Amino acid sequence: MDNTFPQNMWGKTPDWQKDLTEYWVDTAQRTIIFTDILRKRGNNYIKHIRGGQPPVLTFNYELILNAKNFEHPCNYSLVRISDRRRHEDELPDDRERRHPSRERIERPKRPIVIMDPRAGHGPGIGGSKRDSEIGMALEHEHPVYFILFYSEPIPGQTMADVIEAIEIFMEKIVELHPNADAPAIMGNCQAGWAAAIACAERPDVAGPLVLNGAPLSYWSGVAGVNPMRYKGGLVGGVWVNSILSDLGNGVFDGANLVYNFETLNPANTIWTKQYNVYSQVDTEEERYLAFERWWGGFFMLTTDEIHFIVRNLFVGNKLETGQLELREGRKISLKNIKSPIIVFASMGDNITPAQQALNWIPRVYSSVEDIKKHGQVIIYIVHKDIGHLGIFVAGSVAKKEHKEIIANFDMIEFLSPGLYEMVIEGDVVSEKFSTRYEPRTFADIAAYDDGIEDETDFSVVAKLSESNDNLYQLFARPWVKFWTTELSAEILRYLHPLRVQRYIFADTNPMMRPVKNIASIARQNRKPASKDNPFSAMEKDFSNYVDSLLDIYRDWRDLNSELLFQMIYGSKTMRGFFPPPGPEEAPSSGPLQEQDVDERLQTLHEGGLAAGLIRVFMAIARIGGGVKRRHFEIGNEIARTHKALKRLKPADFKRILKEQAAILQADEDRAIEALSVLIKNKDDRMEALSIARRLCLVDGVYSDQEKTMIEKLKKGLSLE
CATH number at residue 321: 3.40.50.1820
Residue 125: per-residue pLDDT: 85
In a domain, 533, yes or no: no
The C-alpha atoms of residue 245 and residue 302 are separated, in whole angstroms, by: 7
**Mean pLDDT to the nearest integer, 564-568:** 96
Residue type, 621: A
Indicate whether 491 belongs to any domain: no
pLDDT in tens, 135-148: 999 999 999 999 99
**In 513-607, where does DSSP find H-type helix?**
515-524, 534-569, 572-577, 594-600
Express each pLDDT in 251-307 by its tens digit.
Answer: 999 999 999 999 999 999 999 999 999 999 999 999 999 999 999 999 999 999 999
**Mean pLDDT of the residues in the chain:** 87
Of 672 and 378, the one with more pLDDT: 378
Lowest pLDDT segment from 162-166, 452-456, 498-502:
452-456
pLDDT at 9 over 70: no
The helix, strand and coil proportions of the chain, stated in percent and rounded to the nearest 5, come to 55, 10, 35
Q: Residue 61 corresponds to which amino acid?
A: Y
Pick from 253, 251, 112, 268: nearest CA to 183: 112
Instruction: Kindly tell me if the per-residue pLDDT of 698 is higher than 70.
Output: no
Strand (E) or helix (H) holding 80: strand 76-81
Residue 312 domain flag: yes
According to the 3-state scheme, what is the secondary structure of 387-450? CCCHHHHCHHHHHHHHHHHHHCHHHHCCCCCEEEEEEEEEECCCCEEEEEEEECCHHHHHCCCC
pLDDT at 590: 44
Which string of b and e fits 426-441 if b means at least 16 CB within 10 Å? Answer: eeeeeeebebbbebbe
Tell whether 72 is covered by a domain.
yes
Residue where a domain terminates, one of 393, 417, 451: 451
In 10 A of CB 658, how many CB atoms?
Answer: 19
Give me the mean pLDDT over the 550-560 stretch.
96
Is residue 611 assigned to a domain?
yes
d(CA 116, CA 225): 26
pLDDT of residue 629: 62
Indicate if the pLDDT at residue 563 is higher than 50.
yes
3-state secondary structure 466-480: HHHHHHHHHHHHHHH
**Domain limit, last residue, from 406, 421, 451:** 451
Q: Is residue 254 part of a domain?
A: no
pLDDT at 700: 63
DSSP 145: E
Q: Alpha-carbon dihedral of residues 653, 658, 659, 661, nearest 10 degrees?
A: 120
257 within a domain of the structure (yes/no): no
Band of the pLDDT at 13, cuts 50, 70, 90? very low
For residues 268 and 388, the answer to whether their CB atoms sit within 8 Å is: no
Checking if the pLDDT of 643 tops 80, the result is: no
519-529 pLDDT, tens per residue?
A: 999 999 999 99
In the predicted structure, residue 635 carries a pLDDT above the cut 90: no
Determine the pLDDT at residue 647.
75
Among 19-28, 438-447, 629-638, the minimum mean pLDDT is found in 629-638
| 69 contacts: CB under 8 Å, gap ≥ 6 | none
Output phi, psi for 433, to 5 deg: -125, 150
pLDDT tens, 438-457?
999 999 999 999 988 889 99
Residue 711 confidence class, pLDDT cut points 50, 70, 90: confident
Residue 651: what residue type?
A
Give the Cβ contact number of residue 6 at 10 Å: 7
Region 175-199 average pLDDT:
94
First to last CA, the chain: 107
Q: Residues of the chain with pLDDT > 90: what percent?
A: 62
Q: Report the pLDDT value the prediction gives residue 507, as an integer from 0 to 100.
A: 95
Number of domains in the chain: 2
pLDDT of residue 91: 43
Question: To 5 degrees, how large is the angle CA 556–CA 296–CA 132?
Answer: 95
Q: Is the pTM of this model over 0.85?
A: yes
Is the pLDDT at 652 greater than 80, yes or no? no
| Structural domain containing residue 392 | 61-233+298-451
The CA distances from residue 494 to 253, 258, 427, in Å, are 11, 15, 46
pLDDT tens-place string over residues 583-611: 655 555 444 444 444 456 777 788 888 88
Does the pLDDT of residue 650 top 70, yes or no? no
Report the SS3 class of residue 210.
Answer: strand
3-state secondary structure 636-679: HHHHHHCCCCCCCCHHHHHHHHHHHHHHHHHCHHHHHHCHHHHC
What pLDDT, in 10s, does the model give residues 353-397? 999 999 999 999 999 989 988 888 999 999 998 999 889 888 889
CA angle 215-218-224, nearest 5°? 105
Task: List Cβ neighbours of 394 (8 Å cut-off, separation of 6 or more).
Answer: 386
Closest residue by Cα to residue 298 from 573, 462, 468, 497: 497
pLDDT greater at residue 188 or residue 654? 188
Among 221-225, 256-260, 469-473, the range scoring the smallest mean pLDDT is: 221-225
pLDDT higher than 90, residue 469 = yes
pLDDT higher than 50, residue 475: yes
- pLDDT, residue 585, reads 57
Least confident range from 44-53, 92-101, 337-346: namely 92-101
The C-alpha angle 456, 461, 462, rounded to 5 degrees, equals 95
Q: Is the pLDDT of residue 637 over 80?
A: no
Residue 94 in this model has a pLDDT that exceeds 50: no
Q: Is the pLDDT of residue 181 over 50?
A: yes
